[in-house]
Structure 1
Amino acid sequence: MIETDRLILRPLTHKQLVKYIKDDHSLEKEFGLLPTKKNISSSLRSALKQSVLPNVSDQDKDYLYHTFWTIISKPDHRMVGDICFVGEPDLNGEIEIGYGTYEEFRGKGFMTEAVGRIIGWAKAQPKVKSIFAATEKDNVASYSILEKNGFKHIGEVDDMMSWKLQF
Protein backbone atom coordinates (compact mmCIF):
# COMPACT_ATOMS: atom_id res chain seq x y z
CA MET A 1 0.00 0.00 0.00
CA ILE A 2 1.27 3.47 -0.88
CA GLU A 3 -0.21 6.84 0.02
CA THR A 4 -0.41 10.53 -0.76
CA ASP A 5 -2.07 13.19 1.36
CA ARG A 6 -5.47 12.46 -0.21
CA LEU A 7 -5.10 8.94 -1.58
CA ILE A 8 -4.34 5.33 -0.76
CA LEU A 9 -3.17 3.11 -3.62
CA ARG A 10 -3.82 -0.47 -2.64
CA PRO A 11 -2.78 -3.48 -4.75
CA LEU A 12 -5.57 -6.06 -4.88
CA THR A 13 -5.00 -9.71 -3.99
CA HIS A 14 -6.56 -12.51 -6.04
CA LYS A 15 -9.53 -12.74 -3.64
CA GLN A 16 -9.99 -8.96 -3.72
CA LEU A 17 -9.89 -8.95 -7.55
CA VAL A 18 -12.67 -11.55 -7.57
CA LYS A 19 -14.75 -9.20 -5.39
CA TYR A 20 -13.84 -6.29 -7.68
CA ILE A 21 -15.11 -8.24 -10.72
CA LYS A 22 -18.35 -9.18 -8.92
CA ASP A 23 -18.93 -5.44 -8.39
CA ASP A 24 -21.35 -6.14 -5.53
CA HIS A 25 -19.68 -3.68 -3.10
CA SER A 26 -18.15 -6.56 -1.09
CA LEU A 27 -14.69 -5.11 -1.79
CA GLU A 28 -15.71 -1.74 -0.38
CA LYS A 29 -17.14 -3.52 2.68
CA GLU A 30 -13.84 -5.35 3.19
CA PHE A 31 -11.98 -2.01 3.14
CA GLY A 32 -14.56 -0.18 5.27
CA LEU A 33 -15.48 2.18 2.41
CA LEU A 34 -18.69 3.63 1.05
CA PRO A 35 -20.03 1.93 -2.13
CA THR A 36 -18.75 3.19 -5.47
CA LYS A 37 -20.30 2.82 -8.93
CA LYS A 38 -17.53 1.34 -11.09
CA ASN A 39 -19.25 0.36 -14.40
CA ILE A 40 -16.87 -2.47 -15.35
CA SER A 41 -17.14 -2.99 -19.12
CA SER A 42 -17.54 -6.49 -20.53
CA SER A 43 -14.12 -6.21 -22.21
CA LEU A 44 -12.45 -5.22 -18.93
CA ARG A 45 -14.27 -8.00 -17.06
CA SER A 46 -13.07 -10.49 -19.67
CA ALA A 47 -9.46 -9.24 -19.48
CA LEU A 48 -9.53 -9.47 -15.69
CA LYS A 49 -10.76 -13.06 -15.78
CA GLN A 50 -8.56 -14.28 -18.65
CA SER A 51 -5.31 -12.45 -17.98
CA VAL A 52 -5.10 -10.53 -14.71
CA LEU A 53 -6.45 -13.20 -12.33
CA PRO A 54 -4.21 -16.01 -13.69
CA ASN A 55 -1.13 -13.75 -13.58
CA VAL A 56 -1.88 -12.60 -10.03
CA SER A 57 -2.18 -16.20 -8.83
CA ASP A 58 1.04 -17.29 -10.61
CA GLN A 59 3.62 -17.72 -7.83
CA ASP A 60 6.48 -17.12 -10.30
CA LYS A 61 5.30 -13.59 -11.05
CA ASP A 62 5.42 -10.44 -8.94
CA TYR A 63 1.71 -9.80 -8.54
CA LEU A 64 2.24 -6.05 -7.96
CA TYR A 65 2.96 -5.71 -11.70
CA HIS A 66 -0.11 -7.72 -12.72
CA THR A 67 -2.91 -6.68 -10.38
CA PHE A 68 -5.14 -3.65 -10.21
CA TRP A 69 -4.27 -1.07 -7.58
CA THR A 70 -7.45 0.54 -6.32
CA ILE A 71 -7.28 4.27 -5.67
CA ILE A 72 -9.06 5.31 -2.49
CA SER A 73 -9.92 8.91 -1.63
CA LYS A 74 -9.26 9.35 2.09
CA PRO A 75 -11.69 12.31 2.52
CA ASP A 76 -14.48 10.59 0.53
CA HIS A 77 -13.94 7.06 1.99
CA ARG A 78 -14.53 5.74 -1.53
CA MET A 79 -12.73 4.04 -4.37
CA VAL A 80 -12.25 6.65 -7.11
CA GLY A 81 -10.35 4.73 -9.79
CA ASP A 82 -7.79 2.08 -10.63
CA ILE A 83 -4.23 1.98 -11.86
CA CYS A 84 -2.22 -1.00 -13.06
CA PHE A 85 0.99 -2.10 -14.68
CA VAL A 86 0.76 -4.24 -17.79
CA GLY A 87 3.27 -6.85 -16.65
CA GLU A 88 6.72 -6.87 -15.13
CA PRO A 89 9.65 -4.82 -16.45
CA ASP A 90 10.92 -6.00 -19.84
CA LEU A 91 14.60 -6.61 -20.61
CA ASN A 92 15.12 -2.83 -20.99
CA GLY A 93 13.50 -2.13 -17.63
CA GLU A 94 10.33 -0.70 -19.18
CA ILE A 95 6.86 -1.15 -17.71
CA GLU A 96 3.51 0.00 -19.04
CA ILE A 97 0.76 1.63 -16.98
CA GLY A 98 -2.96 1.91 -17.48
CA TYR A 99 -5.50 3.78 -15.40
CA GLY A 100 -9.08 4.91 -15.15
CA THR A 101 -11.05 7.27 -12.95
CA TYR A 102 -14.67 6.45 -12.11
CA GLU A 103 -16.99 8.93 -13.78
CA GLU A 104 -18.21 10.85 -10.73
CA PHE A 105 -14.61 11.49 -9.57
CA ARG A 106 -13.16 12.83 -12.83
CA GLY A 107 -11.71 16.33 -13.00
CA LYS A 108 -10.62 16.41 -9.34
CA GLY A 109 -6.92 15.64 -9.82
CA PHE A 110 -7.10 12.17 -8.27
CA MET A 111 -5.50 10.37 -11.21
CA THR A 112 -2.75 12.95 -11.72
CA GLU A 113 -1.86 12.46 -8.05
CA ALA A 114 -2.12 8.65 -8.24
CA VAL A 115 0.04 8.42 -11.38
CA GLY A 116 2.63 10.67 -9.72
CA ARG A 117 2.73 8.45 -6.67
CA ILE A 118 2.93 5.16 -8.61
CA ILE A 119 5.81 6.68 -10.63
CA GLY A 120 7.60 7.32 -7.33
CA TRP A 121 7.03 3.69 -6.33
CA ALA A 122 8.24 2.43 -9.73
CA LYS A 123 11.41 4.57 -9.58
CA ALA A 124 12.30 2.84 -6.31
CA GLN A 125 12.16 -0.60 -7.99
CA PRO A 126 15.66 -1.60 -9.13
CA LYS A 127 14.54 -3.26 -12.38
CA VAL A 128 12.41 -0.33 -13.61
CA LYS A 129 14.10 2.22 -15.89
CA SER A 130 11.14 3.72 -17.78
CA ILE A 131 7.34 3.75 -17.98
CA PHE A 132 5.28 3.55 -21.16
CA ALA A 133 1.64 4.55 -21.60
CA ALA A 134 -0.79 4.72 -24.52
CA THR A 135 -3.81 7.01 -24.80
CA GLU A 136 -6.45 7.66 -27.41
CA LYS A 137 -5.74 10.85 -29.36
CA ASP A 138 -9.08 12.36 -28.37
CA ASN A 139 -8.72 11.57 -24.65
CA VAL A 140 -7.24 14.91 -23.62
CA ALA A 141 -7.86 14.26 -19.90
CA SER A 142 -5.84 11.03 -20.01
CA TYR A 143 -2.82 12.41 -21.81
CA SER A 144 -2.89 15.60 -19.73
CA ILE A 145 -2.32 13.38 -16.67
CA LEU A 146 0.78 11.96 -18.34
CA GLU A 147 2.08 15.40 -19.39
CA LYS A 148 1.64 16.73 -15.84
CA ASN A 149 3.74 13.80 -14.61
CA GLY A 150 6.63 14.38 -17.02
CA PHE A 151 5.81 11.86 -19.77
CA LYS A 152 6.98 12.75 -23.29
CA HIS A 153 4.92 12.10 -26.42
CA ILE A 154 6.95 9.60 -28.48
CA GLY A 155 4.68 8.64 -31.36
CA GLU A 156 1.27 7.86 -32.81
CA VAL A 157 -0.36 4.88 -34.49
CA ASP A 158 -3.89 5.22 -35.86
CA ASP A 159 -5.98 6.79 -33.06
CA MET A 160 -3.43 6.05 -30.28
CA MET A 161 -0.64 8.19 -28.85
CA SER A 162 2.44 6.71 -27.15
CA TRP A 163 4.08 8.26 -24.09
CA LYS A 164 7.26 7.52 -22.18
CA LEU A 165 8.87 8.56 -18.91
CA GLN A 166 12.58 7.75 -18.66
CA PHE A 167 14.38 7.84 -15.30
Structure 2
Amino acid sequence: MDATNLQSRVLVLTPLSIDDLMRIKNKESDRMEIQLDSETISESFRAAIIKKINKMNEISEELHPWYTYWIIVDRATMKGIGLIGFKGSPDENGYSEIGYGMSPNFRRKGLMTEAVNTLMEWARLNSNCKGIIAHALKTNSGSIKVLKNCGFQFVNSEELESVYVHKFI
Protein backbone atom coordinates (compact mmCIF):
# COMPACT_ATOMS: atom_id res chain seq x y z
CA MET A 1 0.00 0.00 0.00
CA ASP A 2 1.35 3.35 -1.01
CA ALA A 3 1.79 5.83 1.81
CA THR A 4 2.00 9.02 -0.19
CA ASN A 5 0.13 12.12 0.84
CA LEU A 6 -3.61 11.69 1.23
CA GLN A 7 -5.78 14.62 0.21
CA SER A 8 -9.26 15.56 1.26
CA ARG A 9 -11.38 18.64 0.74
CA VAL A 10 -9.32 20.90 3.02
CA LEU A 11 -6.59 18.65 4.44
CA VAL A 12 -3.44 16.81 3.42
CA LEU A 13 -2.30 13.81 5.50
CA THR A 14 1.41 12.99 5.29
CA PRO A 15 3.05 10.00 6.99
CA LEU A 16 5.95 11.05 9.22
CA SER A 17 9.36 9.45 8.94
CA ILE A 18 11.30 8.21 11.95
CA ASP A 19 13.48 11.32 11.58
CA ASP A 20 10.40 13.57 11.75
CA LEU A 21 9.13 11.70 14.81
CA MET A 22 12.54 12.17 16.46
CA ARG A 23 12.41 15.90 15.75
CA ILE A 24 8.99 16.15 17.41
CA LYS A 25 10.12 14.02 20.37
CA ASN A 26 13.20 16.22 20.84
CA LYS A 27 11.14 19.43 20.55
CA GLU A 28 12.86 20.30 17.27
CA SER A 29 9.78 20.32 15.07
CA ASP A 30 10.86 23.72 13.74
CA ARG A 31 13.41 21.72 11.68
CA MET A 32 10.62 19.85 9.86
CA GLU A 33 9.49 20.71 6.35
CA ILE A 34 5.91 21.24 7.55
CA GLN A 35 5.62 23.55 10.54
CA LEU A 36 3.33 22.51 13.37
CA ASP A 37 0.86 24.78 15.08
CA SER A 38 2.38 25.55 18.49
CA GLU A 39 -0.47 23.78 20.35
CA THR A 40 -0.40 20.53 18.35
CA ILE A 41 1.99 18.36 20.38
CA SER A 42 1.06 17.48 23.95
CA GLU A 43 3.26 15.57 26.37
CA SER A 44 1.07 12.49 25.92
CA PHE A 45 1.77 12.67 22.18
CA ARG A 46 5.52 12.80 22.90
CA ALA A 47 5.23 9.64 25.01
CA ALA A 48 3.31 7.89 22.23
CA ILE A 49 5.90 9.02 19.68
CA ILE A 50 8.64 7.22 21.63
CA LYS A 51 6.61 3.99 21.43
CA LYS A 52 6.03 4.49 17.71
CA ILE A 53 9.74 5.04 17.02
CA ASN A 54 10.65 1.88 18.94
CA LYS A 55 8.09 -0.20 17.03
CA MET A 56 9.07 1.27 13.66
CA ASN A 57 12.72 0.41 14.28
CA GLU A 58 11.71 -3.26 14.66
CA ILE A 59 9.57 -3.69 11.54
CA SER A 60 9.85 -3.54 7.78
CA GLU A 61 9.74 -0.03 6.33
CA GLU A 62 6.78 -1.00 4.16
CA LEU A 63 4.69 -1.32 7.36
CA HIS A 64 5.69 2.10 8.71
CA PRO A 65 2.49 3.83 7.49
CA TRP A 66 0.51 1.60 9.87
CA TYR A 67 2.72 2.54 12.84
CA THR A 68 3.66 6.17 12.34
CA TYR A 69 1.69 9.33 12.90
CA TRP A 70 0.41 11.14 9.86
CA ILE A 71 0.58 14.92 10.14
CA ILE A 72 -2.72 16.64 9.43
CA VAL A 73 -2.01 19.70 7.29
CA ASP A 74 -4.47 22.52 6.70
CA ARG A 75 -4.31 23.11 2.93
CA ALA A 76 -5.13 26.82 3.32
CA THR A 77 -2.16 27.58 5.58
CA MET A 78 0.02 24.47 4.90
CA LYS A 79 0.50 24.24 8.67
CA GLY A 80 0.44 21.01 10.65
CA ILE A 81 -2.61 21.14 12.90
CA GLY A 82 -2.81 17.60 14.27
CA LEU A 83 -1.61 14.02 14.21
CA ILE A 84 -3.46 10.83 13.36
CA GLY A 85 -2.39 7.24 12.97
CA PHE A 86 -2.88 3.58 13.63
CA LYS A 87 -1.33 1.59 16.43
CA GLY A 88 -0.19 -1.07 14.00
CA SER A 89 -1.20 -3.06 10.97
CA PRO A 90 -4.47 -4.99 11.06
CA ASP A 91 -4.56 -7.76 13.68
CA GLU A 92 -5.51 -11.40 13.08
CA ASN A 93 -9.19 -10.35 12.94
CA GLY A 94 -8.49 -7.61 10.37
CA TYR A 95 -8.80 -4.58 12.67
CA SER A 96 -6.41 -1.74 13.44
CA GLU A 97 -6.78 0.81 16.22
CA ILE A 98 -6.78 4.51 15.36
CA GLY A 99 -5.64 7.42 17.53
CA TYR A 100 -5.60 11.14 16.88
CA GLY A 101 -5.25 14.61 18.33
CA MET A 102 -5.56 18.16 17.07
CA SER A 103 -4.37 21.57 18.14
CA PRO A 104 -7.07 23.27 20.23
CA ASN A 105 -6.78 26.18 17.78
CA PHE A 106 -8.42 24.05 15.05
CA ARG A 107 -11.03 22.03 16.92
CA ARG A 108 -14.80 22.17 16.42
CA LYS A 109 -14.53 22.78 12.68
CA GLY A 110 -15.10 19.23 11.41
CA LEU A 111 -11.43 18.83 10.52
CA MET A 112 -10.77 15.75 12.64
CA THR A 113 -13.84 14.05 11.20
CA GLU A 114 -12.43 14.74 7.74
CA ALA A 115 -8.98 13.45 8.76
CA VAL A 116 -10.36 10.23 10.29
CA ASN A 117 -12.49 9.55 7.21
CA THR A 118 -9.50 10.18 4.93
CA LEU A 119 -7.19 7.81 6.80
CA MET A 120 -9.93 5.17 7.02
CA GLU A 121 -10.34 5.31 3.23
CA TRP A 122 -6.61 4.61 2.90
CA ALA A 123 -6.90 1.66 5.32
CA ARG A 124 -9.89 0.29 3.41
CA LEU A 125 -7.60 -0.20 0.39
CA ASN A 126 -5.74 -2.91 2.32
CA SER A 127 -7.56 -6.19 1.71
CA ASN A 128 -6.47 -7.43 5.16
CA CYS A 129 -8.20 -4.52 6.93
CA LYS A 130 -11.82 -5.30 7.84
CA GLY A 131 -12.37 -2.24 10.02
CA ILE A 132 -11.07 0.23 12.57
CA ILE A 133 -11.25 0.24 16.38
CA ALA A 134 -11.12 3.37 18.54
CA HIS A 135 -10.96 3.99 22.28
CA ALA A 136 -12.32 7.29 23.59
CA LEU A 137 -12.32 8.61 27.12
CA LYS A 138 -15.90 8.83 28.34
CA THR A 139 -15.28 12.50 29.17
CA ASN A 140 -13.98 13.35 25.67
CA SER A 141 -17.22 14.40 24.01
CA GLY A 142 -15.35 15.88 21.01
CA SER A 143 -13.66 12.60 20.18
CA ILE A 144 -16.88 10.64 20.65
CA LYS A 145 -18.63 13.04 18.26
CA VAL A 146 -15.88 12.50 15.66
CA LEU A 147 -16.26 8.73 15.92
CA LYS A 148 -20.04 8.90 15.56
CA ASN A 149 -19.71 11.31 12.60
CA CYS A 150 -17.39 8.75 10.95
CA GLY A 151 -19.84 5.88 11.35
CA PHE A 152 -18.27 4.14 14.34
CA GLN A 153 -20.58 2.08 16.52
CA PHE A 154 -20.33 1.80 20.31
CA VAL A 155 -19.10 -1.69 21.29
CA ASN A 156 -18.54 -1.64 25.04
CA SER A 157 -17.55 0.47 27.98
CA GLU A 158 -14.58 0.12 30.28
CA GLU A 159 -13.92 2.05 33.47
CA LEU A 160 -12.64 5.28 31.90
CA GLU A 161 -13.22 4.80 28.20
CA SER A 162 -15.55 3.41 25.62
CA VAL A 163 -14.68 1.23 22.65
CA TYR A 164 -16.02 1.93 19.18
CA VAL A 165 -15.68 0.04 15.91
CA HIS A 166 -16.16 0.89 12.25
CA LYS A 167 -16.61 -2.21 10.08
CA PHE A 168 -15.85 -1.92 6.38
CA ILE A 169 -18.66 -3.36 4.28
In the alignment, the residues of structure 1 paired with residue 19 and residue 137 of structure 2 have an alpha-carbon distance, to the nearest angstrom, of 31
Residues 156 and 59 of structure 1, relative CA distance in 2, 3 Å threshold: closer
Q: Is the Cα contact below 8 Å between 1:84 and 1:97 reproduced in 2?
A: yes
Q: Does 1:73 align with 2:69?
A: no
AA aligned opposite 2:157: E
* TM-score scaled by length of structure 1: 0.90
Q: Is the Cα contact below 8 Å between 2:66 and 2:85 reproduced in 1?
A: yes
Aligned-residue CA RMSD (Å): 1.5
**Count of aligned positions:** 162
The equivalent of 1:8 in structure 2 is 12
What is the 5 A alignment of 1:17-96?
17-24=21-28, 25-27=30-32, 30-31=33-34, 33=35, 35-38=36-39, 40-49=41-50, 51-60=51-60, 62-96=63-97
- Long gaps (5+) in structure 2: none
SS where residue 155 of structure 1 aligns? strand
Residues 73 and 39 of structure 1, relative CA distance in 2, 3 Å threshold: closer
- Long gaps (5+) in structure 1: none
* TM-score scaled by length of structure 2: 0.89
1:59-108 Cα deviation digits (max 9, x unpaired): 43600111010000010221111101011110010100000011111111
